[in-house]
Amino acid sequence: MAVSAEGDTILMGKSTTGSASLKRRPKTRRSIRIAQIISVIVILGLWQLADNRLFPDYLISSPYNVVRRLFSLLSTVTMWHNIGATAEELALGYLLGVVTGVAFGVGLAYWRVAGATFEPLITIINGIPKIALAPLLLIWFGLGLASKVAIASMTVFFVMFYNSYLGVRSMPSELVEVVKLMGASRSVVLRKVVLPQISTPLVTGLRSAVPFAMIGVIVGEFIAADVGVGYFIRNSSENFDSASVFAGIVVLVLMIIVGTGIISMFERWIMPWRTHEEE
């Protein structure tokens, strides 16, 4: 009875502590949100005060002018054409980079001889600044859509390659051996063991690859393009129109937020248990 009573006490203590922790979480999240909102308001307020006081308007503009310019741009067909072009390049480059990166990462990690042969070469290529390779890709694929997709997919490829490659290599080999001893083929091991085991690093890579894809697209549009948000920002900077530059940056940030939001929805769909753990 003493052991039972003591055990009950311990369990009750854990339960009380757990419930208290659950009660604190919403308050903590609310406090963080409030602190974030206040920080943004303070930054925008300082920015507004600095305009034409500490810095001339053509250098930093002001939040008010940026918002006014943003709404003005979004009411034009030309700006939506630029947004559509950048979104198309972003989506195609992202998808191509994800597919090729995961395929190479899982393949080279699964077949160790090929991994030992090609992984050092991929590491060397990854060490080359992507902006240095962008002009070469523009020569190969031209000045249109294909070159922007190639640059974006290249940046995404390395993110997904290393997340999937290291995810498979860090997987317990005993688990794979047990499944093989049960008579499973390589394809079954890949689908039923390897991919589920690396789902967490894959989803992490999917989320972090969105801004990398945007960087690739914008680099391509900066170098050579006649349409796109990056092209618009470059032209605005050449005309010393800082309000338009910041408005274009806001558009890019919103596009990245939408992209990561889509990936988060996909994550909740394929990994619902992580959502429950975070709540």
Domain boundaries, the chain: 2-50, 67-278
pLDDT at 195: 73
Strand partners, 56: none
Instruction: Answer yes or no: are the C-beta atoms of 164 and 109 closer than 8 Å.
Output: yes
Tokens of 30: 């609310």
Cα dist from 103 to 12, 35, 163, whole Å? 49, 42, 11
Q: Which CATH superfamily does the domain covering 67-278 fall into?
A: MetI-like (1.10.3720.10)
The C-alpha atoms of residue 232 and residue 217 are separated, in whole angstroms, by 13
Distances (CA, A) of 78 to 75, 144, 163, 214: 9, 18, 38, 20
Query: The pTM is what?
Result: 0.80
Per-10-residue mean pLDDT of the chain, 279 residues long, equals: 44 48 67 90 91 84 92 95 96 96 89 85 87 86 90 94 87 71 74 75 90 94 91 93 95 95 82 53
Supply the pLDDT for residue 127.
87
Q: What are the CB-based long-range contacts (under 8 Å, 24+) for 63-68?
A: 65/243, 66/243, 66/246, 66/247, 66/250, 68/243
pLDDT at 96: 97
